Amino acid sequence: MRIYPLDPALFTQYLWEGCTIQQAFGFPLRTHEVKKNAKKIVNHVVGYCKAEKLFVRRKKNEVAVMFEKGGKRWWNHLRKEEFQFLCKE
Protein backbone atom coordinates (compact mmCIF):
# COMPACT_ATOMS: atom_id res chain seq x y z
CA MET A 1 0.00 0.00 0.00
CA ARG A 2 1.29 3.45 -0.86
CA ILE A 3 1.50 5.69 2.21
CA TYR A 4 1.71 9.41 1.45
CA PRO A 5 3.76 12.08 3.21
CA LEU A 6 1.91 14.71 5.25
CA ASP A 7 2.80 18.25 6.35
CA PRO A 8 4.64 18.24 9.71
CA ALA A 9 2.21 20.88 11.04
CA LEU A 10 -0.56 18.24 11.06
CA PHE A 11 1.26 16.26 13.75
CA THR A 12 0.14 18.22 16.82
CA GLN A 13 0.56 17.47 20.51
CA TYR A 14 -3.23 17.14 20.78
CA LEU A 15 -3.36 14.37 18.15
CA TRP A 16 -0.35 12.63 19.69
CA GLU A 17 -2.19 12.47 23.01
CA GLY A 18 -5.39 11.25 21.29
CA CYS A 19 -4.68 7.53 21.19
CA THR A 20 -2.03 4.84 21.05
CA ILE A 21 -1.58 1.78 18.88
CA GLN A 22 -2.15 -0.34 21.96
CA GLN A 23 -5.50 1.36 22.67
CA ALA A 24 -6.65 1.28 19.04
CA PHE A 25 -5.53 -2.20 18.03
CA GLY A 26 -5.07 -4.03 21.33
CA PHE A 27 -1.35 -4.84 21.24
CA PRO A 28 1.82 -3.11 22.47
CA LEU A 29 3.90 -1.01 20.11
CA ARG A 30 6.77 -3.39 19.51
CA THR A 31 8.39 -4.33 16.22
CA HIS A 32 7.23 -7.96 16.38
CA GLU A 33 3.60 -6.95 17.00
CA VAL A 34 3.64 -4.25 14.32
CA LYS A 35 4.92 -6.76 11.76
CA LYS A 36 2.48 -9.45 12.87
CA ASN A 37 -0.49 -7.06 12.65
CA ALA A 38 0.64 -4.96 9.67
CA LYS A 39 -2.40 -5.76 7.51
CA LYS A 40 -4.69 -4.70 10.34
CA ILE A 41 -2.75 -1.47 10.94
CA VAL A 42 -2.09 -0.31 7.38
CA ASN A 43 -5.78 0.05 6.59
CA HIS A 44 -5.95 2.86 9.15
CA VAL A 45 -2.85 4.80 8.05
CA VAL A 46 -3.57 8.31 6.77
CA GLY A 47 0.02 9.33 6.05
CA TYR A 48 3.44 9.96 7.56
CA CYS A 49 6.18 12.49 8.20
CA LYS A 50 9.84 12.02 9.06
CA ALA A 51 9.91 12.51 12.82
CA GLU A 52 12.94 14.82 12.71
CA LYS A 53 10.79 17.36 10.77
CA LEU A 54 8.07 17.57 13.43
CA PHE A 55 7.38 20.70 15.45
CA VAL A 56 6.42 18.64 18.54
CA ARG A 57 7.91 15.37 19.81
CA ARG A 58 10.72 15.43 17.22
CA LYS A 59 12.82 12.25 17.11
CA LYS A 60 15.71 11.01 15.01
CA ASN A 61 15.51 7.75 13.07
CA GLU A 62 11.75 7.42 13.49
CA VAL A 63 8.65 8.13 11.43
CA ALA A 64 5.49 9.87 12.64
CA VAL A 65 2.49 7.95 11.31
CA MET A 66 -1.02 9.42 11.28
CA PHE A 67 -3.87 6.97 11.84
CA GLU A 68 -7.65 7.16 11.67
CA LYS A 69 -10.01 4.60 13.18
CA GLY A 70 -13.62 4.96 14.19
CA GLY A 71 -13.65 8.62 13.20
CA LYS A 72 -10.73 9.40 15.53
CA ARG A 73 -7.38 10.64 14.21
CA TRP A 74 -4.07 10.38 16.06
CA TRP A 75 -0.39 9.70 15.43
CA ASN A 76 2.42 7.65 16.89
CA HIS A 77 6.13 7.29 16.29
CA LEU A 78 7.25 4.11 14.55
CA ARG A 79 10.80 2.92 14.07
CA LYS A 80 11.92 3.25 10.45
CA GLU A 81 12.06 -0.55 10.21
CA GLU A 82 8.43 -0.85 11.38
CA PHE A 83 7.27 1.82 8.94
CA GLN A 84 9.07 0.20 6.01
CA PHE A 85 7.37 -3.08 6.85
CA LEU A 86 3.95 -1.36 6.78
CA CYS A 87 4.74 0.09 3.36
CA LYS A 88 5.19 -3.45 1.99
CA GLU A 89 1.58 -4.36 2.87
Query: Residue 1 is which amino acid?
Result: M
What are the structural domain ranges in the chain? 8-88
Instruction: Look at residue 4 and tell me whether its pLDDT is greater than 90.
Output: yes
The residue-averaged pLDDT of 30-52 equals: 92
75: nearest Cα among 30, 44, 53, 52:
44
Sequence-distant (≥ 6) Cβ neighbours of residue 16 within 8 angstroms: 56, 57, 74, 75, 76
Mean pLDDT of the chain: 92
Can you point out the beta strands (E) in 17-88?
45-50, 62-69, 72-79
pTM for the predicted model, two decimal places? 0.90
The residue-averaged pLDDT of 57-63 equals: 95
Burial of 29 (0-12, 13-18, 19+ CB in 10 A): middle
